[in-house]
Chains A and B, each alone.
Chain A
Amino acid sequence: MKDKKIVWLSAFRNVVPADYENWLEDSSLQGWNIDKIDQWSSILMTFKRGNPKKYRYVYDVQAMPKKDYKTTYEEFGWEFVGQMASVFIWRKEYKQERPESFSDKESLEKRSKRDIAAASVSFMMFLLAAIIITVVFIVNFRYLKPGDILQFILGMVLTYGIFIYMAYVMNKINKNRQR
């Protein structure tokens, strides 16, 4: 039986924060645990087989956390699992009642809004890149060789593709902002 499992693109499979939390929780229940989350975990995440644990995971977004951010969570008994860019992952073991970090609708929605704001940075960057590539392509079109044209088209497909994908992600988070 394998004792390691690698999951690719976890952050892209579960774009809604609550889905990401539930996915981690389900993995722990099946005995697939993570020791640490880091910058690369959104791309590649390694799980180790162990004892099933009942964890409540929390996905929080803080672009500029203040000094008392971590202490506040820790005092409430949350364990810091790690950070991917501005996303902080916390967990707490529980038996019956599932602990919540966002205890009312307003703060839950705000968490989603911060997540959308974080996604909008990539959205704007890829939009800008797509526009620049398109403009350079049009302006220089008559000087380009077929190979160059192909490269430009690939670049445009990629940047517009990611731009459209980010728009889809933001819309999906927004639709699910209350959970």
Chain B
Amino acid sequence: MNIEKIRKRFIPMSETMFYILLSLQEERHGYGIMLYVKKLTKDRIVLGAGTIYQSLSKLEGDGLIIHVDEIDRKKNYVITDIGRQILSEEANRIKEIYSIVEGLL
């Protein structure tokens, strides 16, 4: 799939998708992602098993992440170059929102 199509599919990104992709800058598996995101958001976001499984399927299907190894049927995933590009474009979009809302607070 070309980058334009991927952009259309992922940007803007749901908060769930954003945190999952962000967490995969390091190799992680489903449960590890949940723990990481929970800690990062100070218990605000607790991802569920179904949500993580289907998000990972979507991200992998579109080439934003790949699974690197599999131990005891647990798959470890990591971000790809395309994933990194989408993540940084989304981060820039959030940064723009941030700079706009700053005046409101």
List A residues at the B interface (Cβ < 8 Å).
58, 60, 66-73, 75-76, 78, 90, 99-104, 106-107, 110-111
Contacts and interface: CB of A to CB of B under 8 A. Distances in A.
B54 A110 contact: yes
A101 B48 CA distance: 4
A110 B52 CA distance: 12
Contacts of A103: 16, 45-48, 51
Contact of B49 (A66, A72, A110): A72
Given A75-B30, A76-B31, A107-B16, A68 B70 contact: yes
Contacts of A66: 57
Contacts of A107: 16, 48, 50-51, 54-55
Chain B interface, DSSP helix/strand/loop, else mixed: helix
Contacts of B50: 58, 60, 73, 101-102, 107, 111
A67 B49 contact: no
Which has the most chain B C-beta neighbours within 10 Å: A70, A90, A100, A111? A100
Contacts of B74: 68, 71, 75
B5 interface: no
A106 B75 contact: no
29 contacts: A60-B50, A66-B57, A67-B70, A68-B30, A68-B70, A68-B73, A68-B74, A73-B49, A75-B49, A75-B74, A76-B30, A76-B34, A76-B49, A78-B49, A90-B49, A101-B51, A102-B48, A102-B50, A102-B51, A103-B16, A103-B45, A103-B46, A104-B15, A104-B51, A107-B48, A107-B54, A110-B54, A111-B50, A111-B54
